[in-house]
Amino acid sequence: MTRIRRWPYTFAMLLSIVIAMVALASSIYLGRPLRDPDGFLGPAYIRMPLLALLFFGVGIVVDAVRTSGWKNLPNGMIEIVRNEWSLRRILCITAGMMSFYVCYLSYRNLKSDLPTYREGVLYDQELLHSDLWFSGGINPAVFLHDLFGTGFMAEVFSVVYLAYLPLIPISLGAVLILSRNLAIGAWYATTLCLNWVLGTVSYYILPALGPAFSRPELYRGLADTGVTELQQSLISTRLDVLADPVGSGQIQGVAAFASLHVSVTFTAALFMMRTRQKPVIQTLMWIFFGATVIATLYFGWHYILDDIAGMVIGWAAVTLGAWVTGNRRKRPQQSAEPGTVEHREETALVDAA
């Protein structure tokens, strides 16, 4: 285990290789190609280099401003590149981004294969009964609609829910680039990888569609939002994939248990707390996590038990991620003072020993 911690990305890289092999084996077995879940920047071979360049550039500018100020920004950037950006640091950041993407790509493809392997198996009725048990016989969606209304707050919760999509890769890039300790970046990248893997396992253990798809009548009174469009797109894509898994050329993405929106936002908030980030950052992340939990129930994405399971996955990912990257012990708040990368790496290795 000490060898794994000595280069803190070892576990994340091994995990990404394992889940990629599982996804590839499933692809071969089912006769379906692995598909790239395109983002708003296009396919991965365009998206990943663009994001990497953006994060590198922002990191260099931020460090230069810290050390030299805005007036000496050009010279400061040159000094930062010369003194801060060693080959090891670049390789670590690249490893973090690649392991995250490979785990995410594999997770999306294995999630798409779920209806084939677990054909006809759905636990929505059991999860619905658990909702009523947790909430004292009142459907949580009905309660939230009465509490918040179905107009303006639907728009607010829609923004919160959809903000998750760009926030997670952005937060990863920020931690990898701006962190003064390479092991801290490895910790966050590893926790996100674990979320994708543990989330995939949970889908197969307890397949479910979610309240909005099993009882759509409960959500028809909500105002049309970006979430409404997304739900309609997801169910349409699911039907296309079920009818023609290969010819549809798409990935189906409907699965309720557990909630990865909850697990990942809980992971981010818990990670920010354990690494002792600025109080304002911690507060904002916990508020975002809480609003996300409400949004998942409000729009019928998930059952209460899905969200509880998501929090368990998030806690497990942060805890295991800390252990395998040498961050098990509590660390003092990272200093903003400049220093050489070699000194920081040496400190990280000592902590990991």
51-73 pLDDT per residue, tens: 777 877 877 887 788 777 887 88
In this prediction, residue 233 has a pLDDT band, given cuts at 50, 70 and 90, of very high
Q: What is the pLDDT of residue 326?
A: 87
The pLDDT of 19-39, averaged and rounded, is 90
Site of tokens 């810290």: 66
Q: What is the pLDDT of residue 105?
A: 92
Q: What is the pLDDT of residue 152?
A: 94
The string of pLDDT tens digits covering residues 314-324 is 999 999 999 99
Q: What is the pLDDT of residue 332?
A: 44
Look at residue 199 and tell me whether its pLDDT is greater than 70.
yes
Look at residue 235 and tell me whether its pLDDT is greater than 80.
yes
Q: What is the pLDDT of residue 338?
A: 37
Q: What is the pLDDT of residue 336?
A: 36
Nearest to 112 by CA among 36, 13, 42: 36
User: What's the chain's average pLDDT?
Assistant: 86
Scored b (16 or more CB within 10 A) or e, 136-174 reads eeebbbeebbeeeeeeebbeebbebbbbbeebbbebbbb
In this prediction, residue 288 has a pLDDT band, given cuts at 50, 70 and 90, of very high
Q: Which residue has the higher pLDDT, 91 or 204?
A: 204
Q: Which residue has the higher pLDDT, 239 or 328?
A: 239
Q: Which residue has the higher pLDDT, 49 or 252?
A: 252
The string of pLDDT tens digits covering residues 216-225 is 999 999 999 9
The string of pLDDT tens digits covering residues 254-283 is 999 999 999 999 999 999 999 988 999 999
Q: What is the pLDDT of residue 93?
A: 87
Nearest to 242 by CA among 140, 117, 98, 351: 117
In this prediction, residue 144 has a pLDDT band, given cuts at 50, 70 and 90, of very high
In this prediction, residue 237 has a pLDDT band, given cuts at 50, 70 and 90, of very high
The pLDDT of 94-112, averaged and rounded, is 92
pTM of the full structure? 0.86
- Structural tokens at position 182: 């390479």
